[in-house]
Amino acid sequence: MPAASTPSSAPPERPSAPGSVRGRLRDLTSADGQVFQAWEALPPEGVTPRAGLIVLQEIFGLTDYIREVCNSLAEQGYHVLAPALFDPVRPGTVLAYDQAGLTEGLALRDRLSPGVPQQLITACLDTLRKEHAGHAKGGEKAFPVGVLGFCWGGLLAWEAAQSLPVNAANCWYGGGIAQHCSPPPACPTELQFGAEDSYIPPADWEMIHKACPEVKIFIYPGAGHGFGCTTRASYDPEAASLAWKRTLEFFKTYL
């Protein structure tokens, strides 16, 4: 059964406090020639990356929150890339966290050709593996890379775990996972859901657990959709603290 979580009484935990890492936009090219941008954040100078992470946006684009997450994860020693998933249809799109932004984001998502998000994710994966081939034994494939997704990105992270050679996947409130349970993830995968998420009913948790019992599912009482995003009205600091603690421990274990 999915595990219910008791919110921690400790102060909210983030990947790290704001530090010296300042990310940047970087141009990348997918295998089919699609040029797109990704937010890149590297560990502090002199620190060899422990692993790579691909961070997948919410439906609102590469928002300041997503960029902050990337920078904070880089402080933990990860080389982080977050592809701008709307670039193939509208480059540079960042939307407001409101109903209009949600509606526009869904429309942009629907304009993407099938498979395009996975092509951009694959380009990020290939970039990380090639750039750090010398940092791990066994060549390019040995450098560990995980994927972390929020909202729409949570579903994309799940699909990456099913079909791409990533080493671990962590999915925060990814809608639609229950309808895409086959095949099961091919790497360690962990899910974080809010108990009061109006977009993801409890029946979905049960469907996922039944189809993929090896996947760890955490449920956060009182938390709604987007509970981890500091700039959304649904932000729940206690649930976010515990979810971040688990996420960081998860990647430390599997990457």
Active-site residues, by number, are: 151, 197, 225
Q: How far apart are CA 249 and CA 71, in angstroms?
A: 18
**Under a CB-based contact definition with an 8 Å cutoff, are residues 243 and 218 in contact?**
yes
DSSP character string of the chain: -PEE-PPPSSPPP-SS-S-S---EEEEEE-TTS-EEEEEEE-PSTTPPPSEEEEEE-BTTBS-HHHHHHHHHHHHTTEEEEEE-TTTTTSTT-B--SSHHHHHHHHHHHHHSPTTHHHHHHHHHHHHHHHHTGGGSTTSGGGS-EEEEEETHHHHHHHHHHHHS--SEEEEES-TTGGGG-SSPPSS-EEEEEETT-TTS-HHHHHHHHHH-TTSEEEEETT--TTTT-TTSTT--HHHHHHHHHHHHHHHHHH-
Q: How far apart are CA 149 and CA 155, in angstroms?
A: 7
